[in-house]
Amino acid sequence: MTLLIEQCLNGLQFGLLLFLLAAGLTLVFGIMDLVNLAHGSLYMVGAYFAATFAAFTGSFVFGAVLALVATLLVGMAVEVVVMRRLYGRDHLDHVLGTFGLILFFDEAVRLIWGPEGLSLPLPSWLLTSVPILPGVTYSAYRLAIIVVTLAVAVFLYVLVMRTRIGMLIRAGASNREMVGALGVNIKLLFTLVFGLGAALAGLAGLMQAPILTVQIGMGENILILAFVITVIGGIGSIRGALVAAIFVGFIDTLGRAFFPDLLRLVLSTDAASTAAPALSSMLIYLLMALVLIVKPEGLFPAGGK
Amino acid sequence: MTGRYTLRNLVAAALLLALALLPVYVALAQAPFLLTLFTRILILAMAAVSLNLILGFGGMMSFGHAAYIGIGGYAVGMLAHEGVYSGFVQWPVALAASALFALVIGALSLRTRGVYFIMITLAFAQMAYYMVSGIARYGGDDGLTIYKRSQFFEPLNLSNKVQFYYVCLALLFGSIYLVWRIVNSRFGLVIQGARSNETRMRAIGFATYSYKLTCFVIAGMMCGLAGALLANHTDFVSPAMMYWTRSGDLIIMVVLGGMGSVIGPVFGAVALLVLEEALSGITEYWQIILGPLLLLVVLFARGGIDGLIAGIGAKARPKVRS
Model confidence pLDDT, tens digit, residues A180-201: 888 888 889 889 999 999 999 9
| Interior/surface letters B242-257, b for 16+ CB within 10 angstroms, e for the rest | bbbebbbbbbbbbbbb
| Chain A environment of B257 (Cβ under 8 Å) | none
- Mean pLDDT, range A66-75, rounded to an integer: 96
Architecture of the domain made up of A2-294? Orthogonal Bundle (1.10)
The verdict on a CB contact (< 8 Å) between B294 and A286 is: no
- Mean pLDDT, range A83-100, rounded to an integer: 88
- The DSSP result for B163-215, as a single string, is HHHHHHHHHHHHHHHHHHHHHTSHHHHHHHHHHH-HHHHHHHT--HHHHHHHH
- Choose among B108, B135, B252: nearest Cβ to A289: B108
User: CA of B124, closest CA in chain A: separation in Å?
Assistant: 7
> Residue B316: its pLDDT value, please?
66
- Choose among B122, B136, B288: nearest Cβ to A227: B122
Q: CA dihedral in degrees (B286, B292, B293, B295; nearest 10)?
A: 150
The dotted CATH code for B7-316 is: 1.10.3470
With bands split at pLDDT 50, 70 and 90, how would you rate the model's confidence at A234? confident
> Residue A219: its pLDDT value, please?
85
Instruction: Using the predicted structure, report yes or no on whether residue B241 has a pLDDT greater than 70.
Output: yes
The verdict on a CB contact (< 8 Å) between B288 and A228 is: no
Q: With a CB-CB cutoff of 8 Å, which residues 11-30 of chain B face chain A?
A: none
Q: With a CB-CB cutoff of 8 Å, which residues 52-91 of chain A face chain B?
A: 82, 85-86, 89, 91
Three-state SS string over A78-126 comes to HHHHCHHHCCCCCHHHHHHHHHHHHHHHHHHHHHHHCCCCECCCCCHHH
Q: With a CB-CB cutoff of 8 Å, which residues 255-284 of chain A face chain B?
A: 270-271, 274-279, 281-282
Other Cβ atoms closer than 10 A to A163: 11
The pairing of strands A129-133 and A136-139 is antiparallel
- Mean pLDDT, range A209-232, rounded to an integer: 87
> Which residue of B245, B276, B298 is the best one to mutate when testing the A interface, meaning the one whose CB has the most A CBs within 10 A?
B298
Q: Does B127 touch chain A (CB under 8 A)?
A: yes
Domain coordinates in residue numbering, chain B:
7-316
Q: With a CB-CB cutoff of 8 Å, which residues 108-127 of chain A face chain B?
A: 108, 110-111
What is the percentage of chain B residues whose pLDDT exceeds 90?
A: 57
Instruction: Using the predicted structure, report yes or no on whether residue A273 has a pLDDT greater than 80.
Output: no
- Mean pLDDT, range A64-82, rounded to an integer: 95
Q: Does B116 touch chain A (CB under 8 A)?
A: yes
A132: part of which helix (H) or strand (E)? strand A129-133
What is the average pLDDT score of chain A?
87
| Chain A environment of B122 (Cβ under 8 Å) | 224, 227
The verdict on a CB contact (< 8 Å) between B298 and A282 is: no
Lowest mean pLDDT among A267-276, B68-77, B88-97, B270-279: A267-276
What is the percentage of chain B residues whose pLDDT exceeds 70?
A: 96
pLDDT digits (tens, 9 = 90+) for A115-172: 888 888 888 888 888 887 777 788 889 999 999 999 999 999 899 888 998 888 888 8
Instruction: Using the predicted structure, report yes or no on whether residue B291 has a pLDDT greater than 70.
Output: yes
> Residue A274: its pLDDT value, please?
67
With CA atoms as reference, report the closest residue to A217 among A122, A139, A116. A116
